Amino acid sequence: MEKPILIRVHPQDNVEIVVNEKGIPAGTLIHDQLVAREHIPQSHKIALKDFAAEEEIIRYGEVIGYAKEPIAKGSWIDEHKVRLPQAPELEALPVATRIPAEQSPLLGYTFQGYKNPDGTVGTKNMLGITTTVQCVEGVLRIAVEELKALLPRYPHVDGIIPMYHSYGCGVAINAPDAVIPIRTIKNLAENPNLGGELLMVGLGCEKLVPERLFLDIPQDNLVLLQESMGFRPMVEEIKAKAVKILERLNTRRREVCPASDLVVGLQCGGSDAFSGVTANPALGYAADLLVRAGATVLFSEVSEVRDGVHLLTPRTISAEVGQKMKDEMAWYDHYLDLGSVDRDANPTPGNKKGGLANVVEKSLGSIAKSGTSPIVDVLSAGEKVRKKGLTFAATPASDFVCGTCQLASGITLQVFSTGRGTPYGLAMAPVIKVSTRTELATKWHDLIDINAGTIATGEATIESVGTDLFHYILAVASGEKKTWADQWGIENALCLFNPAPVT
């Protein structure tokens, strides 16, 4: 029989996680004091003691729930045996009470980036095409198809990104929450990977008028289809204006830039119980290195952070930033209430199959991505990043909505951890995919960039994988290494966060 491998994250934990791929069979002798009473699947929890009903179940040194019934030592603690605790009461949370001390700066790290006129630096050199409304999409698709055929003439341009979305008309443009999708569209247009250039395609009668995004757009940068004399003239006008920008973009070259010019987004998707033990702590370690090198790091996913927010508010650098974090949580609580949604709606069937009993356990694993740095700022969904260091960008956890919001905030690269596995990719920025388990990295050898599963088996450490990831980020940002998603051209569509009604 295979040797049983189990991991415990915190000395106070009264559960451990099974590492073995096939789980451990009933009767497995784990050590003198512990025998598995039943089959326990990989990444699921075993009881280290006898639990009375209502006794605390502790993981990460935190209460992840209460035993619904007595649970005997050596049993499998699956989701049905765990009662969800209350979400932390927001008002009472301490803010800025345990601001981490500044870590020693990491000097001398650089990457090869594209410098923009506004001081930002891109990791790619792409033509972005902003749309004001979905009405233009059918025509723009055809123009982009024809433009892509011209790309060999512009070898220094990495690609063309039409920003399709379903916003712009048939929406409540003056609803209080309309500010979210509108600023997201605007800020996406200014992502550093788009070189400071603007090309906008609108219809002409939509609610989201171009001037609501940018004042005084020069004629060279704007196409309004209703001003065209038919379909082919529309396509030709888009192409002519795009080609002028492609010519300018093609003259750009990478230059040595300090690592502090990087803006890196962190995300997880398809999580399992290893996410919080292997991949996310490694992301957190890399995040700390990036912050020490002066870079900007964003972590997100409100509904996953909500149940661990009491661990984050003390790390905010001021009462103001702490309050902003509480405000974002409260906004989301209210938003879910309006839709009659339970907060435990976040974990997916895959999460639960992967051993995450509930949103609390998922949260504690998710926030491991944030590392140990002070939280210097909190952004609302789609707001532009304002400070170097670690920022909480409040976005939904949905991989596509979070990715879109982080791109609007200005990330130029994303690191994405996955346990169950997703082939996720973004057109606008490279996505480095980190697996939580070795089995996934082996099976998806042509999709997973970094394997953090070696941390669970003892072949590597959080520090070693985190350091590798840090160096990999610099190489990908420099265009020296290509992520698998970029290698294959795997691109998920943008997905705006629009909490306001459609009409």
In the complex, which residues of this chain contact Ca ion (CB under 5 A)? Answer: 227, 267-269, 301, 397, 399, 402
- Residue 10 binding a second copy, by CB under 8 A: no
The one-letter code for the residue type at 136 is: V
The one-letter code for the residue type at 114 is: Y
Q: What's the burial of 277, exposed, middle or buried (CB within 10 Å: 0-12/13-18/19+)?
A: buried
Half-sphere exposure of 228 (CA within 13 A, CB side): 18
Least Å distance between CB 281 and a second copy?
21
Q: What's the burial of 474, exposed, middle or buried (CB within 10 Å: 0-12/13-18/19+)?
A: buried
How far apart, in Å, are the Cα atoms of 124 and each of 81, 116, 265? 48, 11, 15
Q: Which two tokens stand for residue 53?
A: 């009903």
> Which of a second copy, Ca ion, none sits in contact with 475, Cβ below 5 to 8 A by type?
none
Judged by beta carbon, residue 121 or residue 302, the one nearer Ca ion is 302
Least Å distance between CB 483 and a second copy?
12
Least Å distance between CB 152 and Ca ion?
29
List the one residue from 68, 341, 458, 482 that touches a second copy (CB under 8 A): 341
Q: Which two tokens stand for residue 438?
A: 């070795």
List the one residue from 27, 61, 458, 501 that touches a second copy (CB under 8 A): 501
> Which of a second copy, Ca ion, none sits in contact with 134, Cβ below 5 to 8 A by type?
a second copy
Q: Which two tokens stand for residue 396?
A: 């939904």
Strands 82-83 and 110-115: unpaired
Residues 158-177 that bind a second copy (CB under 8 A): 164, 166, 169-177
How far apart, in Å, are the Cα atoms of 10 and each of 6, 7, 277, 418? 13, 9, 10, 22
Judged by beta carbon, residue 269 or residue 284, the one nearer Ca ion is 269
The torsion angles phi and psi of 108, rounded to 5 degrees, stand at: 90, -5
- Spatial separation of the C-alpha atoms in residues 269 and 245, rounded to whole Å: 35
Least Å distance between CB 399 and Ca ion?
4
User: In angstroms, how far apart are the furthest CA atoms of the chain?
Assistant: 83
Helical segments of 60-136, H only = none
Contacts of 446 (CB under 8 A, 6+ apart): 484, 487, 488
- Residue 148 binding a second copy, by CB under 8 A: no
List the one residue from 186, 336, 475, 481 that touches a second copy (CB under 8 A): 336
List the one residue from 138, 152, 155, 218 that touches a second copy (CB under 8 A): 138
Q: Which stretch binds a second copy (CB under 8 A): 12-20, 407-415, 449-457, 492-500?
A: 492-500
Judged by beta carbon, residue 105 or residue 501, the one nearer a second copy is 501
Q: Which two tokens stand for residue 240?
A: 């002519």
Judged by beta carbon, residue 260 or residue 370, the one nearer Ca ion is 370
Q: Is 410 helix (H, G, I), strand (E, B) or coil?
A: coil
Q: Which two tokens stand for residue 144?
A: 């982009």
List the one residue from 181, 195, 355, 396 that touches a second copy (CB under 8 A): 396
Judged by beta carbon, residue 51 or residue 424, the one nearer Ca ion is 424
- Residue 499 binding a second copy, by CB under 8 A: yes
Q: State the DSSP code for 230.
A: S
Q: Are 253 and 112 in contact (CB under 8 A)?
A: no
Residues 352-391 that bind a second copy (CB under 8 A): 353-354
> Which of Ca ion, a second copy, none sits in contact with 446, Cβ below 5 to 8 A by type?
a second copy
- Residue 280 binding a second copy, by CB under 8 A: no
Judged by beta carbon, residue 49 or residue 232, the one nearer a second copy is 232
Judged by beta carbon, residue 260 or residue 275, the one nearer Ca ion is 275
List the one residue from 423, 461, 464, 481 that touches a second copy (CB under 8 A): 423
- Residue 41 binding a second copy, by CB under 8 A: no
- Residue 491 binding a second copy, by CB under 8 A: yes
